[in-house]
Chain A
Amino acid sequence: MSSFTLLVTSAPFSQQNAYSAYRFANAAVQSKHKVNGIFFYQSGTINGSNLQITPSDEFDLFNAWKTLSQQYQVPLMVCVSAASKRGITSTEDARDADNPHFSLSAPFESVGLGDLANLINNSDRLIQF
């Protein structure tokens, strides 16, 4: 069994990268490997937005991430500094900024880049999408 950290740097739907990362993560856990975490950075942070509404005839990546996380205990970590600039904020971050709205909720977590360093330290491979 090997372990992976996935770094997702592009927005869902606009580019295929986030979907590819999801398929990779799914294949890894199916093959009994461990995905230590998916780290969302840059526009990848938009994957965490709980305001996404996917048409019923399209693949719902947002809910697919959530299912993957819950089924296989894969942490979904969203970089707070990259996310805030893009309107992706947790309740706590929104409160700190005196903003009544938030768009990030469990199982997505608001974290710092130090958490990525930890993930990398504990993984055999880092794969960027």
Chain B
Amino acid sequence: MILHKVASSPFSHRALDHCLQRIHATDGLLLTQDAVYGLMDKELSTKLQQLEAVFVLKEDAEARGIEIEPSTIQLINYEQFVELCLKYEKVISW
């Protein structure tokens, strides 16, 4: 069980795509910084909802004016981010 942390916008960078090509069904995905802009892409959002566990860092989404509709995507704060890193066996930062 790996937590995949992505920080760059999928509109300009391939990190999220590279991560999604390799993510395992039981892994978690955490969108931070500009990666939260990925939620503005409807197609990508739908794709993300098929994953078992997708998290978005609340502060980074709020800062960027990205609203998260209640869905399978979970908003977490920094304290929960810390706990999430412990819940998964390791963290990879794409």
The answer to whether A and B touch directly, with their CB atoms under 8 angstroms apart, is yes
Please list the residues of chain A having a beta carbon within 8 angstroms of any beta carbon in chain B: 2, 4, 16-17, 20, 23-24, 26-28, 30-31, 33, 124-129
Tell me how far the C-beta of A5 lies from the nearest C-beta in chain B, rounded to whole angstroms: 11
A31-B93 contact given A17-B7, A20-B32, CB 8 Å threshold: no
Q: Are A33 and B82 within 8 A (Cβ)? A: yes
Question: How many residues on B have C-beta within 8 angstroms of the other chain's C-beta atoms?
Answer: 18
Please list the residues of chain B having a beta carbon within 8 angstroms of any beta carbon in chain A: 5, 7, 32-34, 59-60, 77-79, 81-83, 85-86, 90-91, 93
Helix, strand, loop or mixed for chain A's interface?
Answer: mixed
Contact residues in B for A33 (Cβ distance below 8 Å): 82
Q: Are B82 and A24 within 8 A (Cβ)? A: yes
23 contacts between A and B (CB under 8 A): A2-B86, A4-B82, A16-B7, A16-B33, A16-B60, A17-B7, A20-B32, A20-B33, A23-B78, A24-B78, A24-B81, A27-B79, A27-B81, A28-B82, A30-B79, A31-B79, A124-B86, A125-B85, A125-B90, A125-B91, A126-B90, A127-B85, A127-B91
